[in-house]
Amino acid sequence: MTRLVHLSDLHFGFHREALIAPLLDRIAEARPELVVITGDLTHRALEPQMEEAARFLDRIEAPTLIVPGNHDIPLLNPLARMLWPFRGYLRHFGGPLGPVAQAGDVRVLGVNSADPFAWQRGLFRRGEIGRLIGGIDPQAMNVVALHHPLEQLPTVQKRTARRADEAASRLQDAGVGIALSGHLHIFALDELLATNRFPGLLQLQAGTALCARISDLQNEFAVLDIAPGAVRLERHVAPMNREGFAPPEIRDYALQDGRWARV
């Protein structure tokens, strides 16, 4: 069994300061083999925000795998956004922008889906899907980690990232079993499974771990225990109107005949 922690949308610069210590405590208590962070580490990709996010990462003992979100490239400086969109990110968090990590029997394939030319929407770059498929470990549970969800529920007004549909289909067919994302600041998992569009792909669309936007209602992160054909998910939720995290909610999922189901 391999234990991952999944965080998304930290939004340093517009974050819930009082939740930093409880979040770091929970991560330390979970003793994960890898912490996966699916983008929007900062709110506006500003230097002090990058520095604060980097200090947060330094306080995580476990190895980390991070990918950029749209908020990690400069929005308000179009010249910087077009000419050197990832300069600040790379300086503070290092590269590559699509990192790969192996943790026990789990292989995590990171994707940079942030697009300077379609800031909100995001994309799969040309050749990216092939690169991911080439990186699959047939002996492992393969996980893709990216900021933008591969699939969105019909209630979401925003457009899905460019080529996300093709990516979900090809990655599922190639044997990727889990997709971790964020961006929408709304947790979704069972609802995405219920669309039945990609039954072999367990898609965890995370809520925001630290963003202070009141309309998000809560902050949260997930702990995933991954075994061959099985995932146990712990969902740790911190409502905006209370201090710290509630006891985790636990859900189990099993993969049978190429289809995930909650058990």
> What's the min distance (Å) between Cβ of 42 and Fe ion?
10
Q: Does 216 bind Fe ion (CB under 5 A)?
A: no
Nearer to Fe ion, 39 or 99 (CB): 39
Q: Does 16 sit near Fe ion (CB under 5 A)?
A: no
Instruction: Verify binding: residue 85, Fe ion, rule CB under 5 A.
Output: no
Q: Which is nearer to Fe ion, 184 or 193 (CB)?
A: 184
Yes or no: say if 64 and 56 are a contact pair by the CB < 8 Å rule.
no
183 belongs to the binding site for Fe ion (CB under 5 A): yes
Which range, of 86-94, 181-189, 193-201, 212-220, touches Fe ion by CB under 5 A? 181-189
Q: How far is the CB of 259 from Fe ion (least distance, A)?
A: 29
9 binds Fe ion (CB under 5 A): yes
Nearer to Fe ion, 147 or 235 (CB): 147
40 binds Fe ion (CB under 5 A): yes
Establish if 38 lies at the interface with Fe ion (CB under 5 A): no
Question: Does 70 engage in binding with Fe ion (CB under 5 A)?
Answer: yes
Q: Please pick, from the candidates 69, 99, 110, 149, the single residue that binds Fe ion as defined by CB under 5 A.
A: 69
Report d(CA 131, CA 144) in Å as an integer.
Answer: 12
Q: How far is the CB of 31 from Fe ion (least distance, A)?
A: 27
Q: Which one of the spans 56-64, 66-74, 160-168, 198-206 is the region binding Fe ion (CB under 5 A)? A: 66-74
Which listed range, 23-31, 65-73, 129-137, 168-176, lies at the site for Fe ion (CB under 5 A)? 65-73
CA distances from 197 to 87, 158, 164, 191, 259 (A): 37, 19, 13, 11, 11
Cα gap 142→94, rounded to integer Å:
23
Min CB(44)–Fe ion separation in Å: 11
Residue 26 or 183: which CB sits closer to Fe ion? 183
The minimum distance between CB 241 and Fe ion, in angstroms, equals: 21
> Tokens representing 40?
């929007």
Residue 112 binds Fe ion, judged by CB under 5 A: no
Binding site for Fe ion (CB under 5 A): 9, 40, 69-70, 183
